[in-house]
């Protein structure tokens, strides 16, 4: 049995993780910790799942690394400098591995993979993501990572920048610029997690879209990461490699 602790256990995603772990035949929920709780109970775990807040996740993750625990992180806000900091914690003496994934939804991961494959074949590409209004970061980690993958694929293929003749703009109207890819964030009551990658060429538009209608959709990916993280090497970004992509 894999002993699992959950950070952010009273949040919507954390509570869903607790239910998923309790329903898994090969896992045992040994600690459910949230804001204001002591971390001591987590020492009974082998793997800690973090769905908390961008402002808290770095301290949480450092604690897990220092205590030799494997960590599966779904909290977003991991720009390159934060990832570099995490890498600096994972030394040769570290006994825990870390998975940081911008999205655990299998469909969302495939969306990013397909977008990366398609991006070099189209003149234009932009990303639109929509989430619930309680989300703390914008753009989402999924959209940010998608933009990075798309930009890298286009650069490797020698594709030109997306054409854009805008010279007069209300600040923010064209979205954020992530490695040359425009990303637009919508915060809307009733939404959970949705993303479109819009690719345009001569006389055609190709849209890759993923919609998460329930937080339960992320749980197969979370449980896969919990099972696999002890076998990995220090830091792994995303669950693509766990799916053979």
**The CATH number of the domain where 220 resides is what?**
3.40.50.720
On the question of pLDDT at 95 being above 90, the answer is no
The reply to whether 75 and 138 lie within a common domain is: no
Amino acid 15: pLDDT: 96
On the question of pLDDT at 245 being above 90, the answer is no
The reply to whether 143 and 179 lie within a common domain is: yes
Closest CA to 119 of 210, 211, 204, 198: 198
Amino acid 16: pLDDT: 96
Amino acid 183: pLDDT: 98
On the question of pLDDT at 151 being above 90, the answer is yes
The reply to whether 156 and 227 lie within a common domain is: no
The reply to whether 74 and 141 lie within a common domain is: no
Number of domains within the chain: 2
On the question of pLDDT at 92 being above 90, the answer is no
Number of H-type helices and E-type strands within the chain: 6, 11
The reply to whether 122 and 74 lie within a common domain is: no
Contact 210, 194 (CB under 8 A): yes
The reply to whether 84 and 113 lie within a common domain is: no
The reply to whether 133 and 187 lie within a common domain is: yes
Could you tell me the residue range of the domain that residue 128 belongs to? Answer: 106-212
The reply to whether 110 and 208 lie within a common domain is: yes
On the question of pLDDT at 91 being above 90, the answer is no
Per-residue model confidence as pLDDT tens digits over 170-217: 999 999 999 999 999 999 999 999 999 999 999 999 999 999 888 899
The reply to whether 47 and 123 lie within a common domain is: no
Give the residue numbers marked as catalytic: 131, 135
Amino acid 229: pLDDT: 97
Handedness of CA 167, 170, 173, 178 (dihedral sign): positive
The reply to whether 65 and 150 lie within a common domain is: no
């Amino acid at each position: 049995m894999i002993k699992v602790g959950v950070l952010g256990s009273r949040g919507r995603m954390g509570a869903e993780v607790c239910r998923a772990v309790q329903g898994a035949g090969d896992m045992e929920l040994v600690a459910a910790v949230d804001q204001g709780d002591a971390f001591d109970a987590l020492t009974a775990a082998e793997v800690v799942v973090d769905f908390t807040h961008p402002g808290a996740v770095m301290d949480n993750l450092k604690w897990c690394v220092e205590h030799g625990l494997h960590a599966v992180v779904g909290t977003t806000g991991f720009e390159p400098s934060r990832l570099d900091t995490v890498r600096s914690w994972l030394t040769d003496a570290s006994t825990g591995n870390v998975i940081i994934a911008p999205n655990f939804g299998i469909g969302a991961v495939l969306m990013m993979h397909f977008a990366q494959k398609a991006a070099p074949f189209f003149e234009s590409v932009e990303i639109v993501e929509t989430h619930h209004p309680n989300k703390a970061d914008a753009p989402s980690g999924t959209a940010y990572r998608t933009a990075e993958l798309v930009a890298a694929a286009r650069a490797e293929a020698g594709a030109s920048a997306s054409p854009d003749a805008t010279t007069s703009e209300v600040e923010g109207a064209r979205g954020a610029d992530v490695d040359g890819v425009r990303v637009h964030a919508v915060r809307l009551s009733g939404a959970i997690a949705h993303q479109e990658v819009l690719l345009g060429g001569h006389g055609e538009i190709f849209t890759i879209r993923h919609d998460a209608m329930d937080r339960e959709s992320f749980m197969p990916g979370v449980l896969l990461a919990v099972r696999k993280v002890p076998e990995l090497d220090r830091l792994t970004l995303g669950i693509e490699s766990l799916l053979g992509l």
